[in-house]
Copies of this chain bind each other. A is one copy, B any other.
Amino acid sequence: PVAPPVLFFPDPGMPCRAVMNGQQCRRGAKCTYSHQKTSLVKFLDELYAARKTLDVCVFTITCNEIAEAIIAAKKRGVKVRVITDDEQAKCTGSDVYQIASEGIETRTDSDPITHMHHKFAIIDKKTLLNGSFNWTRQAVLGNRENVIIMRNPALCDVFTKEFNAQWKLFEKN
């Protein structure tokens, strides 16, 4: 088999908004953001490609660029569901309340000791993003991390079962 695409972090910098939007940056040397197609840009491309469903199951979400992509999916009519860790959702910088305030259904576990430690997303039932990568600025810019992009509907089914089991388990939290 061929290797699926893999994104490694850390990135050299946060991406310029022009590059994120697939345009040329006009600020030239004044712009201090990265103009490369970084791992974060490729990661965001997957979220912006969602058309029907986006199931996010990630321990920590604090990266604003990623939260914006989740909210943008909701706004264009994608059915979005988010599961995250209860303790992490309360942390400084967490984007979970903002995501919920946009009308996106969001659930958490309810245990301060054990963790909802997954870091996966299922896009349109056909693409799975999975690896060590929490959706945080520290993970983008500081840590050694990986995300494998797997275009495999059968594997998406396996992870959707885990997602749905937690979705039910965390209904009352």
Taking CB atoms, residues of chain B closer than 8 Å to A37 are none
A1-59 CB contacts (< 8 Å) to partner B: 1-4, 6, 8, 10, 59
A139-173 interface mask toward B, CB cutoff 8 Å, 1 = contact, 0 = none? 10011111010001011011100100010000000
Q: Could you tell me if B157 and A3 are in contact, using CB atoms closer than 8 angstroms?
A: yes
Q: Is A115 an interface residue (CB 8 A)?
A: yes
**Residue numbers in B under 8 Å from A1 (CB-CB):** 1, 152, 154-155
Q: Which residues of the partner chain B approach A113 to less than 8 Å between Cβ atoms?
A: 142
- In contact, A145 and B158 (Cβ under 8 angstroms): no
Q: In the complex this chain forms, how many copies of it are found? A: 2
Residues of B within 8 Å of A98, CB to CB, are none
Please give, as numbers and ranges, the residues of chain B lying within 8 Å of A111 by CB-CB distance: 142
CA distance A115 to B142 in the complex (A): 7
Residues on the B chain within 8 Å of A132, using CB: 59, 117-120, 130-132
Residues in chain B near residue A133, CB distance under 8 A: 117
Q: Which residues of A contact B (CB under 8 A)?
A: 1-4, 6, 8, 10, 59, 109, 111, 113-120, 130-134, 138-139, 142-146, 148, 152, 154-155, 157-159, 162, 166
Of the A-B pairs whose beta carbons lie under 8 Å apart in the complex, a sample of 29, sorted by A's number, is A1-B152, A3-B152, A3-B155, A4-B155, A6-B158, A6-B159, A10-B114, A111-B142, A114-B144, A115-B142, A115-B144, A116-B143, A116-B144, A117-B132, A117-B133, A117-B134, A117-B143, A117-B145, A118-B132, A118-B144, A118-B146, A130-B146, A130-B148, A131-B131, A132-B132, A144-B166, A146-B159, A146-B162, A148-B148
